[in-house]
Amino acid sequence: MALARRIIPCLDVKNGETVKGVNFVGLRSAGNPVELGKAYSQAGADELVFLDITASFEGRKTFTEMVTRVAEAINIPFTVGGGINELADVERLLYAGADKVSVNSAALRRPELIEEIATQFGSQVCVCAIDARHDEDGWHCYLKGGRERTERGLFEWAREAQERGAGEILFTSMDHDGVKTGYANEALAQLADNLNIPVIASGGAGKKEHFRDAFLLGKADAALAASVFHFGEIAIPELKKYLHDEGIDVRL
């Protein structure tokens, strides 16, 4: 029996407040992370993702105190990412209240980090986040919050992350981020076909149909979104009822 598809709000946090941009730039404030997290937990979100979006770029540690405050306010699984470079970072965030950690830039630079996390804490703790853009020569992975291109291809890196022990792939299409025209469903479906771990879709949600398409066309296991939730464009209970009516298995 297939697992229910998950709806995951994402808190992109910078300097202690939630922000949202388009194509990774032009950030505007979206509110207090603790209050938003609590509201999403109460609204029926399946999980919450908290990303300290400038931690890798600025080379500092994720704001641990904020993680603790969010964790205390919610009762759903909680994934935290940003500036995780070593096992001590993972341990600190799990101790602060995270259930999973999301690794991105550090794992691309040192893929062994995925194995270390999976060995020490279990694969279920390790989410490999991939920010990728469809360039002229195909899908490429980017570092440092989308600032720096690598020569790693999306699909081969996702497969390697799985082989090294990642429990999930969180794939953000940089081309689709914040533009609200739908997820990168072709790439999502290719990931789903190539992997046997869950794939979380990220980047592009603008209306309820986009979530449906991510599940049906993109074969995603979960769909992550930010601005449509933060700015009240889509309510999670309404979204879940819509998906249920479309024949998609969700937790109501």
Q: Which residues are catalytic?
A: 12, 131
Sequence-distant (≥ 6) Cβ neighbours of residue 178 within 8 angstroms: 20, 21, 22, 23, 24, 203, 226, 227
Task: Give the Cα separation of 52 and 106 in Å (integer).
Answer: 14
| Long-range contact pairs involving 192-198 (C-beta distance under 8 Å, separation at least 24) | 192/218, 192/219, 192/220, 192/221, 193/219, 194/155, 194/158, 194/159, 195/158, 195/159, 195/162, 195/169, 196/162, 197/123, 197/162, 197/166, 197/167, 197/168, 197/169, 198/3, 198/167, 198/168, 198/169, 198/222
